[in-house]
Chain A
Amino acid sequence: MPRTKKTKERYKLSQPVPLLLDGIRWRLGDESENAARTSGLKLEPGTVTVLMGPNGVGKTTLLEKLAGLRPAEKLQVSYGSESLWTQSWTGKARLNENALLQYGYACQSAEDGLFARSVGEEMNYSLRPYPLSVEERSEKTSTAMKAVGWDDSWVERDPYRMSGGERRRTALASVFVSPAPWLLLDEPTAGLDGAGHEDVASQLRKIKSSGKGIVLVSHDSDWALALADQVLLLHSDGSLRLCSREQLLEHPQWLEETGMTVPEWLQMAHLLWSNGVSPEQAWHPAHAAAAIAASWPPDSLDLAVAGSADFTVKQMPKSADRGWKHRLAGFDPRSVWLAYVCLSTGLLFLGDWISLAVGAGVVASLLVGGHISLKRWQGLIVNYAMFSIFASLLFAWGTGGNGAIVEWGAFAEMLFPFLRTMLVLLLGLAIPLVMSPLALRRSLEQLVTIKGRSLRGARRLILIVTLMMRFVPVLLELWERFVRIFLARGKTASRNPIAFGRKLRDVAIPFLLALFRLGDEVSLALESRGVGEDSRPTHSVKMSWRLRDYGFVAFAIALAVGLWGFANR
């Protein structure tokens, strides 16, 4: 009976639930490292937890894991009794949509994920996964808008006609509108003005007192800790320390143990606390001032009198292990390219299924032998494979003569060239993984340089192509970012074609807008590097062929000839 199921879900959503983490090393405030355990970390509803740690330690990644936006690895997350990942009958981890409904999530620069044509539509989009009546929706919408300082007249406003700060407010309102019992917020106030900080703070206090839980990451540590009940410190080894904010005030050096520097304001707050200011007062400078004023000398102080001051600057930790380079990086890029061209030609000669299988074997053994993982391109490869099969099916559809829907001969005939091209593609995809695009540019430019002069058009083209290669991983990252936002807001893990089409639309719009912004910044950075002006670049290293480059190309030619010979056997 769908009706009772709905009411049951609604009942569950209004219930505060704890957030439970297992499978991550953690300890309580003053426990020693030996006391660390890997289960039972519990964040209570009705609390604000601030997640702190140095740059690059993975605060955002942890938050995304809490939201199920990244594979959880060993971490097990549950919202009350709903665990985030479940196992399907094949043993594969699947996202539990009921758990996705338990949180609202705002990523960094959440306004980049907006795509609807009005504030109201954005709100509805966030509410869509929840079974709510029309009245409840409009009530939640107007509450959320009030929380960012807006009245109902803003419902019709178009986010694209707004300033950056207003867009951020729209994005925050579309998270505040969520009826979910948990909010996960990544840098919600970065770039907001003073009034925005106050609005968000007072809204978070309200949300907390209504029994919901909040996990917060923020560079504005003084703003965030003033709201916090407890602090999760993330160490570079991936372990956590959970302490109350009072404990952090007492032991600011715990931040140093994570690799952070203790902010100057916190050093001061610690000093105030050790001079008798209560923890509650120490977080708020106005209260703290009133508290110390009572114990200070009656006449006012000047800065002018000399005192001794020492100021230590902490050195940044250097990464311990040395860089990794693929062994092919030692070859002249031109030889790698030439080898690729030879091998591809050989592969394109393949004419029957048996030789294709041999070709696939050669490609596979080259990739495995060269320790090249194509995992980075997984999405692209899968999509290409799906497209090949789909296109071939379409071609062979209904051509079957005697009652068969698909004529398998035609299907195979169509699929064959696709697969052959795929082998060439797989080899080609490996090249940027073993060689830097700029090295490639240099080698290509040298190829088109005749007697020290290169054609300007060719040079420009090569620069564009190599820059595009450089930015492919950035674009993939960008795309994945919007896929995550889509998952966090849309709350659907389903993979049917309709859901796929919706996903494409809702991801593509913000992606394209972000692309324009990125393009703007890239061209600015290039201009400031002097690229694009009428300048002629020099070459720092003249690359020369060595014996092993000849050997490498000879090996590729031999393989290509072998493939050609086998195809014509």
Chain B
Amino acid sequence: MKKRSAERMTLKDVSVYGENELDEAQVRLENITLSISAGEWLNVVGVNGSGKSTLVRLLAGLHTFGAVGELERGFAGERGSPIVLQQPKAQLFGETPREEIVFALEWRGIEGQEIAAQAERALERAGLSELADEPWSRLSGGQQQLAAIAAATASVADAALVVLDEVTSMLDESNRDSVLRMVRGLHREGTAIVWVTQRLEELVPEARVVALREGTVFFDGRARDFLYGEAVGVPAADPSPVSPCLRAGLRLPYLATLAIELRKLGKLNDPLPVTSEEWRKVMGNAADKENKRAI
């Protein structure tokens, strides 16, 4: 890994004022204070219109009208960071993965002789070597997203930060897994990731989650706490949901609901399971205890 500035990226009291289609004043983000360390993985969640996209465009260093406050980009550097969006067709300019990556490398000003080899490496990292010269129509949505990520990261030397704005929302489970695998690979190499998602089953228990609600940071903590909250001392009959996820207006996925219900019934203790491995442990333990009891 190349040496990078270890300075944190910080936002202090950042607000974004904008106008809607009818020139009416509108607050998109209000007093956001946030910091990201080099190499961190930050999940950003929130309902539509909560300001997710505005925030992550700001984090990517894209020019944002009406932004006030302090933004220090620290490790991410002054140049804009690569950003990948939900719709592959708006962000692919070539006709094949190879052409796309070559286009990105050319605009980065890489010497002509080196481009072919660099493109080959980028394709390999994305797992697209075999599909490098296939037209988009023959690639799945997930493969198109892999190419978009490869091209976006190829366009910046040794990207310190990559922003992915709901890149998996149109994908099924197996396509999503391959995109996540690639992004986790980037993260392992030391790239900081800002991952915007509507699909909460993607969250890893210890990962950091920032939840937005009406333009403000409503929650900033671990995914497990975001899904389940702290149930300590809360009477079972309390009507307001414990889960910050529910309070942010999001829908709790099946497994998370199951865990919360089991906690309510006094059958599960915190920390509640998030991943399928953790669930398997819980179920295994239940079976073990049951067997012991039977003997």
Contacts and interface: CB of A to CB of B under 8 A. Distances in A.
Interface of A: 54-56, 160-161, 163-165, 168, 190-195, 197, 219-220, 222-223, 259-265, 267-269, 271, 285-286, 288-290, 292-293, 295-297, 299-303, 305-309, 311, 313-314, 316, 318-319, 322-325, 436-439, 467, 470, 474, 518, 521-522, 524-531, 535-542
B254 A295 contact: no
A306 B281 contact: yes
B174 A316 contact: yes
B284 interface: yes
A194 B267 contact: no
B48 interface: yes
Interface of B: 20-22, 47-49, 57, 60, 62-63, 80-83, 85, 87, 89-91, 93-96, 99, 102-112, 115-116, 119, 130-131, 133-135, 138-143, 151-152, 155-156, 169-175, 177-178, 181, 198-199, 201, 246, 249-255, 257-258, 261-262, 264-269, 271-273, 276-286, 289-290, 293
21 contacts: A161-B21, A165-B47, A190-B198, A192-B48, A259-B174, A263-B201, A264-B255, A268-B254, A268-B279, A289-B261, A293-B265, A301-B289, A521-B85, A524-B62, A525-B85, A525-B91, A527-B62, A528-B60, A530-B107, A536-B109, A538-B111
Contacts of A319: 131, 134, 138-139
A540 B268 contact: no
A311 B277 contact: yes
Given A165-B48, A285-B254, A305-B285, 6 more contacts: A261-B177, A264-B279, A268-B254, A289-B267, A524-B83, A536-B109
Most-contacted residue by chain B among A168, A313, A437, A524 (CB, 10 A): A524
A520 B132 CA distance: 28
Contact of B285 (A301, A438, A537): A301
A290 B151 CA distance: 49
Contacts of A194: 47, 246, 249-252
Contacts of A324: 135
B115 to A, nearest CB: 4
Contacts, number: 256
A271 B258 CA distance: 13
A531 B277 contact: no
A367 B42 CA distance: 53
A269 B254 contact: yes
Contacts of A308: 284
A438 B96 CA distance: 10
Contact of B102 (A260, A292, A531, A540): A540
A293 B268 CA distance: 10
A187 B245 CA distance: 22
Contacts of A313: 177, 181
Contacts of B85: 521, 524-525
A316 B175 CA distance: 7
A160 B82 CA distance: 31
A263 B108 contact: no
Contacts of B105: 538, 540
Contacts of B271: 303
B172 A261 contact: yes
A430 B171 CA distance: 33
B172 A538 contact: no
Given A260-B173, A323-B135, A527 B49 contact: no
B267 to A, nearest CB: 5
8 tightest Cβ-Cβ pairs between the two chains A and B: A289-B261, A525-B91, A540-B115, A265-B254, A307-B281, A194-B251, A285-B257, A521-B90
A295 B267 CA distance: 11
A268 to B, nearest CB: 6
B286 A301 contact: yes
Contacts of B279: 264, 268
A540 to B, nearest CB: 4
B94 A438 contact: yes
B131 A318 contact: yes
Contacts of A265: 201, 253-255
Contacts of A288: 258, 261
A323 B155 contact: no
Given A160-B22, A260-B174, A540-B115, A309 B283 contact: no
